[in-house]
Structure 1
Amino acid sequence: MGRLRSVAKRQQLEACLDYLREGDTLIVTKLDRLARNVAHLGQLVATLKAKGVSLRILDLGLDTSTPTGELILNMMGAVAQFERQMMLERQREGIAKAKADGKYRGRAPTAMRQARRVHELAAEGLKRSDIAQRLGLSERSVYRALSV
């Protein structure tokens, strides 16, 4: 299904879910700020339901404390995921076309532009962390530049 997953753990969401108690209502402004995809939405709704917590989504005027609200939430989640997939597909097609036309080359390798300077500073005896700080690079970029 492509790359529709969160890259990082969402610690604040996890803390919020741990804090909720029976009878509470979790209020979010937008559905896409809560769940990454329909499967994730289903997991969150199941977790909330098991805890006796309802969900309100302000921009949709939706409240899952009713069966109708729960149905509409699932339908909206499916539509949101479909829209996201279509957007990503159009983006991939646009990038492929731009590459074919020679208009897209990706991000410039900014750290490698400074590889010569990295080697000079290393030859002077500077530590990798000092080189990184002086040139505004990450230490990983310094290691990478020194490996070529």
Structure 2
Amino acid sequence: MITTDALSDLGDFREELFIDLVDTEYYLRATDAGWPTVLADAEFDHSLGTFVEARIGGQSIRLGGQPLKVRIAASWRYYYIFRNRLLVSRNYARRHPAWVTAGCFADLRHLAIVTMLAPGRRARLTAALAGVKDGLRGLTGKKPGT
């Protein structure tokens, strides 16, 4: 929940980020402006991604007798995850170095895990690399063709 006073002071969400890190950027902007913030652990009725069975070399990985599952996003989402991580990190790294470091590490760790264990490796890596390239170039908005 955001008060109307905060909206007036901070402005709107950055639509040019399109999808990923929009809420995080707003939180960081609010924090920098001195607005009190609360990070809540909320449950949603939708899932962020799909669980798939983990496999290496075509062999299912089992843990405790059950197939291990990993959560993946649609391949095109990795473009926005990595592009927006760079865009937001560029703006907030000096004031929030721990957040930037932790976020980059979490995204890279996730990409490494799903690249090793989930199908769609090439599409996911291609999207992530395109996101890094466009993030370094400062491109924003919806990527044409998605």
TM-score by length of 1: 0.23
Name the structure with the higher helix share. 1
Higher relative contact order structure (alpha carbons within 8 Å, sequence separation ≥ 6): 2
Larger Cα-atom Rg: 1
The TM-score, its normalising length taken from structure 2, stands at 0.24
